[in-house]
Amino acid sequence: MTAVTPRLTDLKSKGRAWRGALAIGFAGLCISPSVLAHPHGWIDLNVRVVTDDQGVVSALHQTWQMDPFYSLVVFEELQQVQGADLAQGLDQLGSEIRNNLAQQHYFTEVRIDGKRQSLGEVTEYTALERDGRLTFMFILPLSSPQPLAGHTLEYQVFDPTYYLEVVHDEEDGSPSKQALILHGEPSCELTIIPADPDPELVMQAALLDVDEQAEPGLGRHFAETGRVICP
C-alpha cells in the first residue's frame, strides 16, 4: 500500500477518492490493485451523550480516531508544507472536516422513540494528534433538546457510501468503557448493538472497486447502533 501525498494547495483536487467518505479533500491514496473491497479505512468512535441536571439530552460529543495509515499520510503532508507547523495545519484541517461533514449531516442520525431528530450546527470542534492518530472531536447538538426519562435514544454514525467504516472503540473484542458514556444518569441502560448486514450487501460492498463509490445508503447497513434507555 503506497500513499500519494500532494502539496496542501492541491489536496482538494487530489483527494476526490474521499468524497464519498469525509469529502474533505486533503489526501489522495494509491492502493494496490489486490485491495478491491470497501471500506478503505476506518474510524474508531467514542460518544458521550450530553445532558443537563434534569436529564435533558442536548448533544452528542463525538471523538473520531482515524486509522493509523490514513493518519500517517495526513501528518506527513501537513509537516511538509513550508511555513506551517502541525498545530496550524490541524486547525485548518479541522475547519475543513467540519465544513464538509456539515453537508452530510455529520454522518450521524439520532432517533428518540423511533422518531428522527433534527441536528443543529457544529460550532465546537478540534482536530489533533493523539497516540499517533488523527483525532477529530466535535459536539453535535440536537436542534431541540429532549428529555431522556421514559424514552429511548438511538444513534448511528456512518459514511453513507461505506468508503470509511465507523465502529465504536473496542477493547479485547468488545466496546470499550469510553465507547458510549452518559454522566449523571445511573439508571439508564447503555448498549452498542453490532451491525448485522444482509450477506448480499456484504458481497455488494466487497465487489466495489477501489475507485468506485457505492450508492448513498450502503453504509447504513454496516452501522452499529448506540442505544440509551432511561426508565
Count of domains forming the chain: 1
Gap between the Cα atoms of 130 and 214, Å rounded: 31
Report the 3 state secondary structure along the chain. CEEECCCHHHHHHHCHHHCCCCCCCCCEEECCCCCCCCCCEEEEEEEEEEECCCCEEEEEEEEEEECHHHHHHHHHHHHHCCCCCHHHHHHHHHHHHHHHHHCCHHHEEEEECCEECCECCCCCEEEEEECCEEEEEEEEEEEEEEECCCEEEEEEECCCCCCEEEEECEECCEECCCCEEECCCCCCEEEEECCCCCHHHHHHHHCCCCCCCCCCCHHHHHCCEEEEEEC
Give the separation between CA 102 and CA 179, rounded to whole angstroms.
Answer: 23
- For the stretch 46-105, pLDDT in tens is 999 999 999 999 999 999 999 999 899 889 888 887 566 788 889 999 999 999 999 999
pLDDT of residue 108: 98
Helix axes 68-80, 86-102, angle to 10 degrees: 120
C-alpha cell at 88: 496550524
What's the pLDDT at 17?
35
- Of the candidates 16, 64, 36, 49, the residue with the CA atom closest to the CA atom of residue 165: 64
Whole-prediction pTM? 0.81
Which ranges of the chain have pLDDT less than 70?
A: 1-38, 82-84, 207, 209-216
| Amino acid at the residue 163 | Y
What pLDDT is attached to residue 200? 84
pLDDT value of position 102: 96
Q: Which residues contact 209 (CB under 8 A, 6 or more apart)?
A: 36
**Own/partner pairs, 124-130, CB within 8 angstroms, 24+ separation:** 125/94, 125/97, 125/98, 126/94, 127/90, 127/91, 127/93, 127/94, 127/97, 128/90, 129/71, 129/75, 129/86, 129/90, 130/65
Instruction: Give the pLDDT of residue 37.
Output: 52
- Give the domain extent around 107: 2-230
